């Protein structure tokens, strides 16, 4: 299985195709065959896979003739709308607003080796925060994680006002509020977030700041894409001189536990290691990813040992976990969701673990 899956991954190509590869395995020690399906990551995001899985269950299950649900806006229709939006948007106003949000936040690491580390040389460290620490936490896990990352990075680097890139699913945006709930494509959006812990005596003091920063950028990732990639930012705007972020963050949300496993579909163990080509150059020096699964918070950090010694990353990660545990175990503060429209409420609920269908 590992050899077949690896070969399928090597055989997909975003530029020249194919985008999708599949193999039907006839295993000598099992009476059933297995279909292995691989799709290039440029063509599907995590939400896309859930849509595809739902369709496969309908098509391959006992009621194989079932009609598929109605489609939503197509990916290319959406892409054309984004391009038209970039032509009409007030780029100066957007750039000014983002410059104000980011302020004077700078790079995380000032002195690092001038290298271009490869994905294949990266190392992943993982930690787990057990279920008791999650119980009763009223603050968003996403906000707690971001606070812990900012606080622990500040202790590591001595910088208390930094910017990191935050990844989101990109399907609930203020700029294009359209229905993409059943659309397959790469909607993942990335935008910078300022983590300012200056003057804070403890992580709990920084949490309200991070919460405000998250609320201010919620649903605005597409705005950054218009500025960064579609030419909406004026040529002489100071935002263009902003240094590239060195740390990325991706909170994948809550994956429910306790339900019965799907007898038809399952993820290939270890397949997430094939998210990127091992020969590609790493965009970030540190990648942080997290999810809540089976009631536990799983935290993973990817780094390059030729840039950051493993011992340094281990200490920072342990410090980060300690902050997360402390914040989640603290007395929860009430969160008021008032004066939110439908899309804003959906985005807020998504961040605290509710799925699109809840």
Position 132 scores a pLDDT of 57
Helix (H) or strand (E) holding 255: strand 247-255
Least confident window among 127-131, 134-138, 258-262: 134-138
Smallest CA-to-CA distance from 74 within 183, 173, 172 is with 183
Cis peptide leading into residue 18 (ω within 30°): yes
User: Looking at residues 140-152, what average pLDDT do you find?
Assistant: 94
Position 343 scores a pLDDT of 61
CA distance 231 to 237: 12
pLDDT at 357 over 50: no
**How does pLDDT run across 87-101, given as a tens digit for each residue?**
999 999 999 999 999
Pairing of strands 33-39, 161-168: unpaired
* Cα-trace Rg, the chain: 21
Which backbone phi and psi does 301 adopt, to 5 degrees? -130, 130
Residue 352's pLDDT band, with cuts at 50, 70 and 90, is low
CA distance 253 to 54: 19
**How does pLDDT run across 242-257, given as a tens digit for each residue?**
889 999 999 988 765 5
CB within 8 Å of 15: residues ≥ 6 apart? none
pLDDT at 227 over 60: yes
**How does pLDDT run across 171-208, given as a tens digit for each residue?**
877 777 788 989 999 988 899 999 999 999 999 999 99
Position 230 scores a pLDDT of 93
251 alpha carbon, distance to own chain's centre: 5
Q: In what order do the strands lie in the sheet with 123-129?
A: 123-129, 296-303, 286-293, 247-255, 161-168, 189-196
pLDDT at 238 over 80: yes
- Give Cα separations from 8 to 36, 194, 271, 279 (angstroms): 9, 39, 11, 16
Domains defined for the chain, CATH in brackets: 2-60 (no CATH), 76-351 (3.30.559.30)
CA distance 142 to 148: 10
**How does pLDDT run across 172-181, given as a tens digit for each residue?**
777 777 889 8
pTM, full prediction: 0.83
**How does pLDDT run across 260-290, given as a tens digit for each residue?**
567 777 777 655 556 677 888 999 999 999 9
User: Looking at residues 97-118, what average pLDDT do you find?
Assistant: 87
- Give Cα separations from 200 to 162, 186, 206, 248, 322 (angstroms): 14, 38, 6, 23, 17
Smallest CA-to-CA distance from 357 within 266, 261, 256, 264 is with 256
Smallest CA-to-CA distance from 103 within 212, 15, 252 is with 212
CA distance 221 to 169: 10
Pairing of strands 33-39, 20-26: antiparallel
Residue 209 near residue 196, CB atoms below 8 Å? yes
pLDDT mean across residues, the chain: 85
Residue 94 near residue 227, CB atoms below 8 Å? yes
**How does pLDDT run across 22-44, given as a tens digit for each residue?**
999 988 888 888 888 999 988 99
Position 24 scores a pLDDT of 92
Dihedral angle computed from the Cα positions of residues 69, 71, 75 and 81, in that order, rounded to the nearest 10 degrees: -150
């Amino acid at each position: 299985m590992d050899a077949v899956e690896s070969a399928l991954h090597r055989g997909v190509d975003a530029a020249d195709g194919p985008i999708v590869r599949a193999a039907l395995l006839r295993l000598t020690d099992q009476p059933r065959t297995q279909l292995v399906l691989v799709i290039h990551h440029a063509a599907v995001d995590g939400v896309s896979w859930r849509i595809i899985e739902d369709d496969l269950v309908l098509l391959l299950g006992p009621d194989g003739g079932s009609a598929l649900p109605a489609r939503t806006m197509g990916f290319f229709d959406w892409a054309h709308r984004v391009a038209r939006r970039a032509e009409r948007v007030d780029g100066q106003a957007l750039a000014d607003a983002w410059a104000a949000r980011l302020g004077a936040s700078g790079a995380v690491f000032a002195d690092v080796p001038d290298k271009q580390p490869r994905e294949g040389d990266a190392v992943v460290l993982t930690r787990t925060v057990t279920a008791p620490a999650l119980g009763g936490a009223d603050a968003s896990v996403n906000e707690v994680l971001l606070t812990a990352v900012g606080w622990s990075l500040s202790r590591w680097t001595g910088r208390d006002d930094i910017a990191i890139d935050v990844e989101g699913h990109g399907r609930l945006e203020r700029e294009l509020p359209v229905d993409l709930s059943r659309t397959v494509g790469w909607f993942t959006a990335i935008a910078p977030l300022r983590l300012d812990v200056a003057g804070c005596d403890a992580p709990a003091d920084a949490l309200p700041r991070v919460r405000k920063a998250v609320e201010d950028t919620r649903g605005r990732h597409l705005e950054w894409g218009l500025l960064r990639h579609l030419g909406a930012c004026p040529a002489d705007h100071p935002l263009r001189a902003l240094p590239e972020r060195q740390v990325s963050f991706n909170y994948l949300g809550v994956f429910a536990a306790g339900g019965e496993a799907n007898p038809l579909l399952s993820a290939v163990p270890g397949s997430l290691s094939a998210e990127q080509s091992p020969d590609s150059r790493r965009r970030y020096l540190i990648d942080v990813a997290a999810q809540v699964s089976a009631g536990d918070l799983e935290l993973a950090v990817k780094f390059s040992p030729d840039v950051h010694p493993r011992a340094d990353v281990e200490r920072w990660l342990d410090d980060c976990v300690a902050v997360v545990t402390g914040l989640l175990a603290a007395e929860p503060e009430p969160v008021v969701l008032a004066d939110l429209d439908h899309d804003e409420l959906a985005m807020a609920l998504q961040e605290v673990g509710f799925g699109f269908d809840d």
